[in-house]
Chains A and B, each alone.
Chain A
Amino acid sequence: QVQLVESGGGVVQPGTSLRLSCEVSGFLSRGDGIHWVRQAPGKGLEWVSAISYDGINKYYADSVKGRFTISTDNSKSTVYLQMNSLGAEDTALYYCAKDGGVLRFDSWGQGTLVTVSS
């Protein structure tokens, strides 16, 4: 069973940057991917970004394209989300999730809260 633990959230000012981490423990299969999904307070889920198992393929929602960058370390045990030019609209609980196929988010972390406020 794969476990995911997010970290790196906090309170930041508009226009600044933050890097989130998703530590992955357990066995990942070659077809797995890791996604970031966010949820603004009292709102619904929003898909943000994804990275393939090998770290080669990366995908972004239009709302974060050009500002956020997803990456993984060499051991593939941690996935990062570098977030630049943050705005109030980025305030949310950020979850990372394992995709065991296509849109088969079968393991989730507990989330890390990002608050963008002056």
Chain B
Amino acid sequence: QSALTQPASVSGSPGQSITISCTGSNSDIGTYKYVSWYQQHPGKAPKLMIFEVSNRPSGVSNRFSGSKAGNTASLTISGLQAEDEADYYCASRTTSVTHVFGTGTTVTVL
């Protein structure tokens, strides 16, 4: 199972909105609603930001939103803040009943 494809880096100025894409196939994103997104700061464990494509866990800012169209999922961060600077990973269930992560995207706040 190949990793889902994400852009290596995305940047934006404070207050702006950015979108991170996550491209898979009919064997994963295209088939399931089970897409999640994780934020990871350096030296820290990942943190769940979005599950089941567009649901936010309790405590996660509503500046984070998720969507899916076909084989591509997206994470949008609106009102970008300095604390949002981190690595972001998407993940999807696969048709072989396993899971696959994306290649990861580094978000830089200019």
The residues of A with any CB-CB pair to B shorter than 8 Å are 35, 37, 44-47, 50, 59-62, 95, 97, 101-106, 108-111
Contacts and interface: CB of A to CB of B under 8 A. Distances in A.
A101 B46 contact: no
A68 B17 CA distance: 42
Nearest to A4: B45
4 closest A-B pairs (Cβ-Cβ)? A108-B45, A44-B104, A47-B99, A104-B51
A109 B46 CA distance: 9
A109 B52 contact: no
Interface stretch (B18-26, B62-70, B76-84, B86-94): B86-94
A28 B61 CA distance: 26
A102 B46 CA distance: 16
Given A61-B98, A106-B57, A101 B52 contact: yes
Contacts of A44: 3, 87, 89, 101-104
